[in-house]
Amino acid sequence: MLQSLLALVHGRVLTDEGLREDVAVLVHDGHVLALAAADDPRVAQAQRHDLAGALLLPGFIDVQVNGGGGLLFNDAPTVDTLRGIAQAHRRFGTTGLLPTLITDTADTMRAALDAVDAAIAQSVPGILGIHLEGPFLAPARKGIHDASLFRTPVADDLLALTAQRRGVVMLTLAPEQVEPSVIARLAAAGVRVVAGHTAADYATARAALDAGVCGFTHLYNAMTPLTSREPGVVGAALDDPASWCGLIVDGHHVHPASLRIAINAKPPGKCVLVTDAMPPVGSARPDYVLNGQTIVAREGVCMNDAGVLAGSALDMASAVRNTVNLLGLPLAEASRMASAYPAEWLGLDQTHGRIAPGQRADFAVLDDTLHVRETWIGGERQAV
C-alpha cells in the first residue's frame, strides 16, 4: 500500500467526461493517482475524506488578481503580500493565480518580478507567476491606470521580462505602443503577451497577433469596440481562433449578452474567467487607495469618485456562479472556464486544471448553491 494515500469519496466529481458520482479520487504525493471505483481495494486502504455529496471541481485558476484580503500588490510587492492575497482568494476556490501589478515604476516592476520568483521558490501556495498589466499601455484607454507612468519598453525592460524566472510571466500591453518585433521577442522568450488598455485598430491588433500576442485582457473593457466598418480590438479578438479572451463576469463590467456573443464566437476553450480582483475581495473593508485615489466597492462594483471602474470585487466562485446563472452555461463549462482553459493559456495544462491522473490535486469543493466549502492545494486541505 502507498503511504499517505488519500481517497476523496462520495463526491460529484467533474472529470473530463463530465460529472461522475461513481468514482473516488485517489491522491498521493500532491497529485491525483487515479479515479477509482468505490470497490477498488485502494479506497478501503486509504485515509478517506467524505465529501457528503458535494461537487468536487478542479481548483480555480485566476490570471488577473490585483489584490485581496485588504492587500494590493502594488502597495508592497513582497512575498508576504503575495501570501496574504493568495490566502484571501483561497476561500473562494482559487488554487492558482497570477498576482497582477498595475502600471507602476520600473523599480516596482522589478521588485514585483523578484517577489513572485521568491514566493514560488518558497512554495507559497497558489502563486503560479505574475501578470504585469502595463506600463506599455495607451493613454486613450487608460481606465484607472496612471497614464503619467506609461512608456514604451526599453532594453532594461526586455532583459527583466525575459530573464529566467520561476513561474509564468504574462504582460498586458497596447499593441500600438510596442513594435511587432518587440512583441515577437517577448513571445519567443516565453512571455504570455496579451493586448489590453489599447486604442489600436483592427489591422494593428491583427499584426500583434501575428507577432505573438496570445490573448486579450478583460475583453470589451478598455479597448476599441467592434463596429460595422472598423472591427477594432474586440473584432480582432473575436475573429481570431487561436487567442484566449479574459472575461469579467460580474454583471457590471460587461453586459451578459455581450459575454454570450464572445463565448459563442470563440472556439471552445478560448474564453477564460478572470476576476481583476482588488483588496476588498476576502476583506471586510470596502475601500482602498490606488494612485492616490480612494476607491470604494459598492454592491460589488469598485469605482473612484468619478465613476471609473477600478478592478472588481469579484471572486472566482462568484464568477462561476454568474456564468451559470447570468449566462446560462452548464456548470461543467463554467468550471472549465475557471480551471482547464486558463491552465492551457498559461501552458500549465499538463499539470493543472483538471481532475485526472497525474494532475496536481488542486480542488474546489462546492455545495449545490455553488459556494465553496473546501479548497485543496497539492492534496492538502487549506485553512481559509
User: What percentage of the chain carries pLDDT values higher than 70?
Assistant: 99
pLDDT of amino acid 3: 65
Alpha carbon distance 249, 59 (integer Å): 18
The per-residue pLDDT of the chain, averaged, comes to: 96
Selection from 273, 279, 310 nearest residue 88 by Cα: 279
pLDDT of amino acid 2: 64
pLDDT of amino acid 293: 87
Q: Which three cell numbers mark 277? A: 480582483
Q: Are strands 363-366 and 372-377 parallel, antiparallel or unpaired?
A: antiparallel
Selection from 171, 234, 178, 177 nearest residue 202 by Cα: 234
pLDDT per position as a tens digit, 2-31: 668 999 999 999 999 999 999 999 999 999
Q: Which CATH number is 59-345 given?
A: 3.20.20.140
**Domain edges within the chain:** 6-57+355-381, 59-345
pLDDT at 1 exceeding the cut of 60: no
Residues designated catalytic: 276
Domain 6-57+355-381 CATH (choose: 3.40.50.970, 2.30.110.10, 3.10.20.30, 2.30.40.10): 2.30.40.10
Alpha carbon distance 22, 78 (integer Å): 44
pLDDT of amino acid 299: 79
**What number of other Cβ atoms are within 10 A of residue 243's Cβ?**
21
**Mean pLDDT across the stretch 164-177?**
97
Alpha carbon distance 358, 338 (integer Å): 19
Classify residue 372 as left (phi > 0), alpha (psi -120 to 50) or beta: beta
**Mean pLDDT across the stretch 201-210?**
98
pLDDT per position as a tens digit, 289-337: 888 888 988 878 898 888 888 889 999 999 999 999 999 999 999 999 9
Cα torsion through 248, 252, 253, 257, rounded to 10: 80
Residues 6+ apart with CB under 8 A from 267: 241
Residue 94's Cβ-count burial label (10 Å; 0-12, 13-18, 19+) is buried
pLDDT of amino acid 179: 97
DSSP state string for 335-348: HHHTTHHHHHHTT-
**Mean pLDDT across the stretch 152-164?**
95
Confidence of residue 383 (pLDDT cuts 50, 70, 90): confident
pLDDT per position as a tens digit, 246-305: 999 999 999 999 999 999 999 999 999 999 999 999 998 988 988 888 898 887 889 888
Alpha carbon distance 98, 87 (integer Å): 13
